Amino acid sequence: MRPRLVDWTLFVLAGLVAASGFGAWLLLDAQAAPVIAIHAAAGLAILVPLAWKFRRVRPRITRASAWDWRTPLSLFTAIAAIGSVATGVFWTHAQAPTGYPNGMHLHIVFGIALIVSIVLHVTLRFKLPSRRDLQGRRDALRWLGMLGFGALLLPAQHVANHALNLPGAQRRFTGSRGAGDDTGPAMPITNWMFDRPAPIDVTTWRLTVRGAVERPLTLTIDDLQRDDWTTTLRATLDCTGGWHSTQDWRGVRVGNLLDRAGVRPAARFVSFVSVTGYRWSLPLDEAREALLATHYEDVPLEHWHGAPLRLVAPGRRGFMWVKWVGEVVVLAEPDPGQWIAIFTSGLSG
Ligand SMILES: Nc1nc2c(c(=O)[nH]1)N[C@H]1C(S)=C(S)[C@@H](COP(=O)(O)O)O[C@H]1N2
Ligand SMILES: [Mo]
């Protein structure tokens, strides 16, 4: 097979893996499932052209006389590629500890290193593909064989997981492992970056509902616990860091609050802002179905789980379940600044 064909196959597969890796975080569960499957399948399939490429470039590495200034970068790319696949497989299939940092964090670090090094690698060695690269039936068949063999790796892994009852067989489709259900306060605690707020004094705490609404609201904790306001919702928190837990949450449906405040026609998103500055938004219709919870499993939330009020966003990854909510802001536009807020909140007092 022509080297350039193998290189382009690697490049396209790597792009697919990177894009699906980000999609896995951001999409709703139902949409994320096939994207995560593509991520895993393409991530394993890439091993086949990678092995091919390593065989080809081995003399350029093993013979010192063949080294040039680009060789270290190529080695770095190779290490990042192997590290990405190895940490991905390890994290989703082994019984690794869920602490911080864990296998998922390593996977993200290797993945980002890989994206950076591929961009550099391609900039330095770029060659456009041409039709000649896929000429000849034998080459085309070999190429298809390579892809086909790669595509079988994930199903083979699944069969092995179930036959040998490996830990990977018990994982949720996101790769997260169960951390116990209906456990209330014993649920794991995860803070994304720097949020370490002091416990909130509920006698002075207020929830404000503002933005594109007719009647802004200021509510006390007692308002939010009135029997005729509250409902329960069973939902699964699935942290990107690799664990999941299902609880019965109790609180006020966001749609209920929005109806009381009267949403203006321009409204499109609802942002949930923590007292720490952390914030995330959901599209209006989805936000209506979310819950602002004061309780789990019939007990009040514990401080580190976001007391007095946290967002429960069914079907969304855990990092969107804003804790210590102080404001609900109805928006007419998306909020790109939330991407900065989740990385910097907690740093300013
Ligand atoms: N304000 C705030 N909310 C937050 C976070 C945070 O760091 N700050 N971490 C998020 C992440 S990454 C997860 S997985 C869940 C974890 O919730 P728990 O600690 O109650 O299990 O909270 C989310 N809400
Ligand atoms: Mo998380």
User: Taking Cα atoms as reference points, which of 107, 234, 232, 91 lies closest to residue 172?
Assistant: 91
What domains sit in the chain, N to C, each tagged with a CATH number? 3-175 (1.20.950), 184-344 (3.90.420.10)
Sign of CA dihedral 198, 200, 204, 208: positive
* CB-count exposure of residue 191 (10 Å: 0-12, 13-18, 19+): middle
CA of 222 to the centre of ligand 1 (A): 24
SS3 27: coil
- Ligand found nearest the CA of 345: 1
Say how far apart CA 345 and CA 349 lie, in whole Å. Answer: 9
Residue in 190, 196, 243 to alter for ligand 1 test, most ligand atoms within 8 A of Cβ: 190
Contacts of 126 (CB under 8 A, 6+ apart): none
Say how far apart CA 58 and CA 77 lie, in whole Å. Answer: 14
Say how far apart CA 168 and CA 172 lie, in whole Å. Answer: 9
CA of 99 to the centre of ligand 2 (A): 12
Residues in the 5 Å CB sphere of ion ligand 2: 190, 239-241, 318-319
Ligand 1 atom closest to residue 197's alpha carbon, by position in its atom list: 1
Say how far apart CA 91 and CA 156 lie, in whole Å. Answer: 17
List pocket residues of ligand 1, CB cut-off 6 Å.
187-192, 195, 237, 239, 274, 276, 278, 305-306, 318-319, 321-324
Residue in 239, 247, 348 to alter for ligand 1 test, most ligand atoms within 8 A of Cβ: 239
CA of 281 to the centre of ligand 1 (A): 14
Tokens of 109: 């670090």
Please tell me the predicted confidence (pLDDT) of residue 314: 97
- Ligand found nearest the CA of 277: 1
Ligand 1 atom closest to residue 275's alpha carbon, by position in its atom list: 1
CB of 256 within 8 A of CB of 310? no
CA of 171 to the centre of ligand 1 (A): 21
* pLDDT mean by block of 10 residues, the chain; 349 residues: 87 94 89 93 94 91 88 91 92 73 86 92 79 79 91 90 84 88 95 92 98 98 96 95 93 98 98 98 98 98 98 96 98 97 86
Do strands 207-211 and 230-239 pair parallel, antiparallel, or not at all (unpaired)?
Answer: unpaired
Residue in 281, 319, 338 to alter for ligand 1 test, most ligand atoms within 8 A of Cβ: 319
CA of 322 to the centre of ligand 1 (A): 6
Query: Which residue owns the Cα nearest ligand 1 atom 2?
Result: 323
Distances (CA, A) of 73 to 67, 68, 80, 84, 215: 11, 10, 10, 16, 58
Q: Hey, which residues does 233 pair with through a beta bridge?
A: 249
Ligand 1 atom closest to residue 346's alpha carbon, by position in its atom list: 8
CA of 212 to the centre of ligand 2 (A): 29
Please tell me the predicted confidence (pLDDT) of residue 170: 84
Contacts of 278 (CB under 8 A, 6+ apart): 192, 195, 322, 323, 324, 341, 342, 345, 346
Please tell me the predicted confidence (pLDDT) of residue 325: 98
Please tell me the predicted confidence (pLDDT) of residue 131: 74
CA of 200 to the centre of ligand 2 (A): 21
Q: Hey, which residues does 235 pair with through a beta bridge?
A: 247
User: Taking Cα atoms as reference points, which of 76, 73, 109, 75 lies closest to residue 91?
Assistant: 109
User: Taking Cα atoms as reference points, which of 19, 5, 269, 303 lies closest to residue 145?
Assistant: 5
Q: Quickly tell me which residue has 């390890």 as its tokens.
A: 90
